[in-house]
A and B are shown apart, each in its own frame.
Chain A
Amino acid sequence: MDLVNVTIDGQKLSVPKGFTILEAARLAGIDIPTLCHHPDQEVKAVCRVCVVEVEGSRTLQAACAYPVAEGMVVRTNTPLVRQTRRMVVELMLARHPADCPSCTRNLHCELQTLAERLGIREVRFGREEKGLPLDDSNPAIVRDPNRCILCRRCVEACHKVQGVGILYPVHRGADAIVAPAFEKPLAELPCVYCGQCINACPVGAIYEVDHTERVWKAIHDPSKHVLVQTAPATRVSLGEEMGLGVGAIVTGKMVAALRRLGFDRVFDTNFTADLTIMEEGHELIHRLTHGGVLPMLTSCSPGWIKFLEHYYPEFIPNVSTCKSPQQMFGAVAKTYYAEKMGWKPEDVYVVSIMPCTAKKFEAQRPEMDDSGVQDVDAVLTVRELGRMIREAGLDVTALPEEDYDDPLGRSTGAAAIFGATGGVMEAALRTAYEVVTGKPLPKLDFEEVRGLQGIKEATVAMDGTQVKVAVAHSLGHARRLLEAVKSGQAQYHFIEIMCCPGGCIGGGGQPVPTTNEARQRRIDAIYQVDRNLPLRKSHENPAIQELYREFLGQPLGEKSHHLLHTHYTARPRYRKA
C-alpha cells in the first residue's frame, strides 16, 4: 500500500494514499465531527461540519471528502475551525424545530449530539421554521420536512440502495427541501415503506407511524386478550435499544420484558416462520413437480411485496402465495389458538414486534382478515418497543431470561435465520431437501446463501434434480436479479428476496444506527441463535406438527389455503395521461 506523510494537529503520521483527512485523523486519534457523512454511503460533503484547515488552502476543506497528499499539513482544532463549525450548526438549528424533548429521535439525534459536542448554547439567528405540512398519509411512515437538514442520506438510501427513487432534492436555495416526487404524500406514490430512509436520517425528519399508544390501550383493556409475537430479527437488535452492545442476543430478556409490559401471552413469529417453511417448502416442491410457474419467489418481506406489485407485477404468478410469518401468526392466533382458549377472534388483540415499517402497512391490507377480523392489530418497531420498555422503567440487565409461551412460542433454528438475508432460502432448503429425498441433510449450513453480498447463488442436488437458487437483499439488488431473470440471462428455480439490505436485521424498524457493520454483527448473532437451538429444521418443530394434526390437516390443505395463503394486486406507479 502506498503511504503518504501528513501532519495533523502537529502529529506526523503515514497514512494510506487515497485516505480522506477524516480517515487519516481517526488514525491520529482525532474524531472530526460529521453530520452528512455515513459510513456506508458516498461522500456528500454538504453539511460542512467537518471542515478543517489545510495549509495553503484559502478556504477550509471538508475532511470527509478531501484526500490526503504528501506533505499535507492539517489543523482540525483552530479558532477558525471551531467558530465555523459552530456557525454551521447554528444555521441549521435556526430553521430546525426547537422541540427536541418531544421528538422521536430525542437522545438519538445526530444534530442534537453535535450541538452538544460543539458546545452550542445559543442560536444567534432568529428561529424561522419552514412551516411545511407533515406527511402522515400512509400507515407506515411519517415525514416531517421541517426537521430535515438536507444531508441527503435518505435520498441515497432511496435511490442507490433501494432503487425506488421516491425522495429527491427539489427547489433550490433556502427553499430547497428533500421531498417525494411532485411533493406528493407518500400514500399517493409507489413508495414501499421500507423505512431505509429512517435508518439513514440523522434527525427526526422521518419516523414510523406510532402504535405504542394503541398497544398500551389494548394492554390496559380487560376485555382484550393481548398476544404479542416477536420477529426473528428482533432478538438480536433490541439489546441496542437497551444500551447493550450491537449483536447482543436478548431473546429471554425480551420475553421477560414483554410479560412485564402486560402482554397476556408472549409468542414468537419464529413459530409461524417454521409454518411458512412448511407451506412454502411444499409449494416449491409442488411447483417443481407439477410444472408450476418458476422461479418461485419468496413472500415474507412486505416491502418487497409492495415493490413487486408496483414495479414488477408480471412476476406476481411467481411469488409464493404464502402469507408472511407475521400474517400467518395473526390468522392462526385468532383461529386455532382462540378456539383452543375459547376466545372470540374479536377479543384477541395481536401485536407484532417487527424490525420493519412495511409490516405496519401489511397488517392493514384489507385481505389480511381471514380470521374474520383484522389478523394483526398493531405493529411495533424495535425502536417503539424500546421506548415502551424505557417508559415502563424496565432494567433489562436485571431481568431474568424467560421462555416463550406454548404452543405458538416454539420454534427451530430454521425460523431464527429468517432474520438474515439467505435465511428463508436456507430454512426452506433444509426442509425441502428432506421432504423430497426422504434422507437427512448431510450438511445443515448453506454457506453460499449467507452474508452481505448483494446477490448470491447456489445449486442444490435433490434426488438427481439440480435446484438452482438465488438470494437478493435490498431492492436495488432485487431489481438487478429480476431483470436478469426477465431477460433470460439467469435461470433459477427458487429466489429469496428481502427488501432491506442484510435482510430483516437491517430493516427500517431497527435501532438507529443500522450500518453495514451493525448488520454484520446482527447476522452473526442470528446464526449463533440457530446453532444454539436443539431443533434446526422447521418440519421437526413439534408444535407445528401438532398444529397440522389438530387443526390444519396438511400443508397446502384447504384450511391452510384459506388462512395462510394470499394473493397480490398490481398497483399503479405514477399518474399517467
Chain B
Amino acid sequence: MLYRAHVLVCNGTNCSLKASPEIQKEFSRLLPEYGLDKEVKVVETGCFGLCEYGPTVVVFPDGTFYSGVKVSDVREIVSEHLYKGRVVKRLLYQVPPAAKPVQVYPEVDYFRHQVRVVLRNCGFIDPESIEEYIARGGYQALGKALTAMTPAQVVEEIKASGLRGRGGAGFPTGLKWQFAARADGSGPKYVVCNADEGEPGTFKDRLILEGDPHAVLEGMALAGYAVGAHQGYVYIRGEYVLSIERLERAIAQAREMGLLGKNILGSGFDFDVEIRLGAGAYVCGEETALFESLEGGRGEPRIKPPYPTDAGLFGRPTVINNVETLANVPVIIERGASWFRTLGTQKTPGTKVFTLTGDIVNAGLIEVPMGITLREIIYNIGGGIPNGRQFKLAQTGGTSGGVIPPELLDVPMDYDSLAAHGSALGSGALLIIDDSHCIVDVAKSFSFFFLHESCGKCTPCREGTLQLHRIMERISRGEATRTDLENMKALAQAMYVAPLCPLGQTAPLPLMSTFRWFESEYLAHVVGKTCPAGVCPVDGTAARAAAGCAAREV
C-alpha cells in the first residue's frame, strides 16, 4: 500500500524514556479520527541521534523535524500538519540559544555535518521490519558475496577498504579475517559480535542494534562466509533490554526468510547466530575475557598469544568484531572498497560514530568522517557549550581514553593522531566538560571506575587500580603530598606496561592525561590545599562537594 506521508517516531532508549511509545500510540489513535489512517503510516524507528531533544518526530516526505514532542502535542501535529498541511512551528527543532527554528531534517546543523554510513538506516526504517531493511538495500551485499564472490574475495575487499576495528583498538579488520580464514580449519570457526559496550559515555552499539539490527547480522554472515565459520554469537550487555529484543526479532525474521540458517539464499552456505548476554562486567569487552564469559567462566582475560584468530572461542579460530565494525561491512561489500576509501583519512578510511555527552548543547549520537576535528564536532554539530560556560576538556575514547584540552581542539579525530597526543579514539565516546568542574573530582571518577571494573586476575591491575584510587582520594581530600604525585607517576609507568590485558594498561592513561594538561590544578589541591572549582572536600570540609556536581542544575 502506498502512503502519502510517513511519521517517524524515535523509539530509541533515550527517547522512549521520554514517553515516545505513548506518542506513537497517540498518533495511531488520532489518525483514524481524521480519516488519515489509510494515508499516513506511523513508523517506530531507532535513534535519530539527537537524544538531548527527544522525543523526536520526523514527517516525510517533507522531512519536517519536530523535537521535544509531548503526547499533548500530537493532536496539533495531526490536525495542523498532516490534515491541513501547516507545519507546527512551535515544535520545530531549535538550536539553543539561536532562535531560528529549523524545519527540514537535513538542514539541522546536527545532521548537515554528518555522513551516515553506519547509521544509514537508523531513524529511517522500522528496525523491527526486515522488509524495510531489504527495501533500503539490505542483504544485497550478502547476496552479492554468496553468488558472485569467493570468500577470499570478500576478505580482499575488506582489506582493500582499510576498515579498522571500531571497538577501540583500530586493528585492520581485513587482516583479522585473513588470519582466521587461513587458520586451522579442521574444526569449527566462529564469528563473535562484541556488543558488550561498557565504555562510559558510549552507547553507539546499543543504538545501532536498536535502530538497524539486520545490518549487524548481515555483517556477521559476511564475516562467516569470508572465514569459513557457520556459527556466530552476539555477546551483548544484559542491561541492553531493547537491543536484545530487536536483535532476537531480527534473527527470527532472517531465519524465516532464509537469510540465516542452512543453505542461505540457496548458496549452500550455512550460518546462524545466537545471542548471549553479559552479566555485568566491563572487562568482558576485552575479547579473550568475552570468550571466557561466553564459555561460562569468570570473565578474565587470557594470555596472548595465542590470538583469537588462532584459538579464540572454545579454543577455535574466531573473528571477533565490534558492532559498528560489522555494520560497516555490508556497505563496503555493496559499494566497494574504493568508495569507502573516499571517506575519512588515508590511514583510517570511513566514518566514525561518536556519542557526544556531558556539557554540550546537542548530546547524542553522530556519525562523521574520520579526521574531523573536535572543534567541528563540538561547535558545528554539538551546538557548543551550554550555560555560557567555557570548554575545559573533552575526554575521548571513554574512561579509557585521554583528555583533550582547549589547545588540541584542532587535532584530527582518528586513531593515530589522537594516540600521538596521548589520547585515544577508542570507542568513540566524547565527554565534554566545562570549566565549572574540578579536574581532580572528574579524574577520581575515572579511578573509581577502574577499581570497580578490574577483574583482579593480575597483580598490577588489581592492586594498581586500588592504589591509584587511594591517591586520588587523598588528593581530593587535600591530604596528598608531592610524594603521592611521584608515586602515582611511577605506578602509572608500571601499569602501562605490566598488566595482563588492556584494561589495566589503560587504567592510568586518563589520570596521567588529566595530570599532564591540568597539573596546576592538581598542585592547587596538593600544595595549596584548595580546590579551584570549589568541588573537592579539601581541608576536610565537604563544602560544595555534593553540591559541586549539582551546581549545573541551577
Contacts and interface: CB of A to CB of B under 8 A. Distances in A.
A touches B (Cβ under 8 A): yes
A340 interface: no
B467 A43 contact: no
B505 A88 contact: no
Contacts of B520: none
Nearest to A176: B456
Contacts of A62: 303, 500
A125 B487 contact: yes
Nearest to A49: B459
A51 B455 contact: no
Interface stretch (B14-22, B23-31, B491-499): B491-499
A83 B298 contact: no
Nearest to A51: B498
Interface string B451-462: 111111111101
Contact of B497 (A43, A45, A60, A124): A60
B452 A51 contact: no
A45 B458 CA distance: 8
B458 A47 contact: yes
Contacts of A66: 305
A173 B452 contact: yes
A80 interface: yes
Nearest to B302: A45
B87 interface: no
A229 B329 CA distance: 75
B451 A59 contact: no
Contacts of B496: 59
A63 to B, nearest CB: 12
A273 interface: no
A88 B456 contact: no
A552 interface: no
A174 B498 contact: no
Interface in B457-471: 457-460, 462-467, 470
B294 interface: no
A173 B453 contact: yes
A46 B451 contact: no
Contacts of B305: 66-67
B443 interface: no
A48 B459 contact: yes
Interface string B475-492: 000000001000100110
Interface string A531-574: 00000000000000000000000000000000000000000000
A92 interface: yes
A84 B493 CA distance: 8
B303 A65 contact: yes
Interface string A77-112: 000100110011001101100000000000000000
Interface in B293-316: 298, 303, 305
B454 A87 contact: no
Contact of B494 (A67, A88, A125, A174): A88
B500 A48 contact: yes
B456 A87 contact: no
A443 interface: no
Contacts of A51: 497-498
B476 to A, nearest CB: 16
A372 interface: no
Nearest to B298: A169
A149 interface: yes
A175 B453 CA distance: 11
Interface of A: 43, 45-49, 51, 58-60, 62, 65-67, 80, 83-84, 87-88, 91-92, 94-95, 124-126, 128, 149-150, 169, 171-176
Considering the complex of A and B, which 5 residue pairs feature the smallest CB-CB distances, nearest first?
A176-B456, A91-B463, A87-B494, A173-B454, A174-B466
18 contacts: A51-B497, A59-B496, A59-B505, A60-B497, A65-B303, A84-B493, A84-B494, A87-B494, A92-B459, A95-B463, A124-B483, A124-B490, A125-B487, A126-B470, A173-B451, A173-B462, A175-B456, A176-B457
